[in-house]
Amino acid sequence: MRRGFEDIPGSLTPDRIPRDLDLNTIPFSEHAQSVLSDLLRSSIDDTALWRDHLCMTSQVRTFYSNGKIKQQWASYSKDRLPRDFKAGEPRISRPTSSTSWIDVPFTFVTSQNGGLIGNCSGIISFIPCQDGVGWKMWMLRTILENFEGCGHPDDPSPIFENLNTTANTNNGFEHEVSTLIIGAGQSGLSLAGRLGALKIPYLLLEKNKEIGYSWTGKYDGVRQHTVREMNNLPFDRTYKASDPDLLPAKTVAEGFRNYVRKYFINVWLGAEVDECLAGKGEIGWRVVVRKEGEQHVVKARHLALSLGAGLSVPKVPNVLNASSFKGTILDVGNFKNSLPWKSMKSVVVGSATAAHDGSSSRLPLFLNHLAGSPPPRHLQLDIDH
């Protein structure tokens, strides 16, 4: 069932925590451990939220309301057996002047599939009870950090201790690997780095012949639309504090290349996937890869597709009577900059990122045309890729 933003349940709790509250006078850590150890009989607000990241549900899921949280916690606890809760120091969260709550970080362990022990962390949040006596749970976040004895995905030191994360080669053209990653952009590089940290053999494929071409190969003015600190790759800062807040393509690509060198990313460049077939037994996939004019067969237990939202495949529409248009019809995938169109009138069809970055200044000319000025000489189609 589809939901709009207004339909998402939950709201910020009002500010009912005194400004002069001394956290040392209330045993929040002990209270948190007590609630977590016996959640089903604990006081939970009717508007409470529980967000789980792979810890109890093996998915990323959110549950809302007192009853739903207790029901799902009881169900998942039968297999996951959450235990050994250890709470840390409480802190007051007051993101605005009109809302506040108490956050208590904690750790615990769970039983995971295959007999693994999951090291988990979380934050439990409390608000005052309506009668002002006591505290009740308002928000719960649980996160699977790693599996006991299997390393940690945020610790890159094993990469430098053991560089044997490449595929096993039976001969020059047949390879076996635990995980095959297709696409060396932000997601593909991040996954490769974390697999290296866990000493899991992987192979990363990139169809272009250079890292970062998915950025530098676009139009000249392209840049990231989220701030620099949100785009760092795992383990460390990928970009310098002196870099622009909204990173241009060349800087993004440079950061990608530095990451590949620093963390010994096992990547094949200029590698095109011709065929993916479901394998048998422990081999989950049989993938035919074309590289430097030669055909390779990669057998992988797991296949990860990191191709971007539109898979980089142009979707050019069939425009009625387009052949009768006397000007230029240009798909945004072939747009580099607007210099050749200086002083000319154009229409941009679409209002997504590329339309704004590449030629938003042409929109007033389009409006002028509607008002009776001469028709445009060029038509750019901004189509999702």
Alpha carbon separation from 12 to 34, 98, 137, 164, 225 (Å, rounded)? 25, 9, 13, 49, 27
What is the per-residue pLDDT for 230?
92
Q: Are 34 and 120 contained in the same domain?
A: yes
Query: How does DSSP assign 162-231, residue by residue?
Result: ----SPEEEETTEEEEEEEEE--SHHHHHHHHHHHHTT--EEEEESSSSTTHHHHTS-TT-B-SS-GGGS
Residue % of the chain over a pLDDT of 90: 64
- The CA distance from 260 to 235, in Å, is 13
Q: Are 140 and 24 contained in the same domain?
A: yes
The structure tokens listed for 383 are 């189509």
- The CA distance from 299 to 167, in Å, is 9
What is the per-residue pLDDT for 365?
37
**Residue 310 placed within a domain:** no
Q: Are 26 and 122 contained in the same domain?
A: yes
pTM exceeds 0.75, yes or no: yes
Nearest residue to 221 (alpha-carbon basis) of 184, 257, 247, 185: 247
pLDDT single digits (tens) 277-309: 987 776 789 999 999 989 999 999 999 999 876
**Residue 315 placed within a domain:** no
Q: Are 143 and 166 contained in the same domain?
A: no
The structure tokens listed for 39 are 């959640």
Least confident of 28-32, 93-97, 247-251, 370-374: 370-374
What is the rounded average pLDDT for all residues in the chain? 86
Alpha carbon 129 to its chain's center: 36
pLDDT single digits (tens) 254-283: 999 999 999 999 999 999 999 999 877 767
**Residue 20 placed within a domain:** yes
Rg of the Cα atoms in the chain? 27
What is the per-residue pLDDT for 26?
93
Enumerate residues 6+ apart whose C-beta is below 8 A from 243. Answer: 228, 251
At 371, give phi and psi (nearest 5°): -85, -5
Q: Are 163 and 301 contained in the same domain?
A: yes
**Number of domain units in the chain:** 3
Q: Are 283 and 215 contained in the same domain?
A: yes
- The CA distance from 24 to 175, in Å, is 59
Q: Are 137 and 59 contained in the same domain?
A: yes
- Inform me whether the pLDDT recorded for 1 exceeds 60: no
Residue that wins the pLDDT comparison between 317 and 367: 317
Q: Are 109 and 192 contained in the same domain?
A: no
Q: Are 264 and 372 contained in the same domain?
A: no
Length of the chain: 385
Q: How confident is the model at residue 380 (pLDDT cuts 50, 70, 90)?
A: low
Query: How does DSSP assign 45-76, residue by residue?
Result: EEEEEEEEESSSSSSEEEEESHHHHHHHHHHH
Q: How confident is the model at residue 383 (pLDDT cuts 50, 70, 90)?
A: very low
Between vectors from CA 198 to CA 194 and to CA 204, what angle results, nearest 5°?
50
Q: Are 297 and 163 contained in the same domain?
A: yes
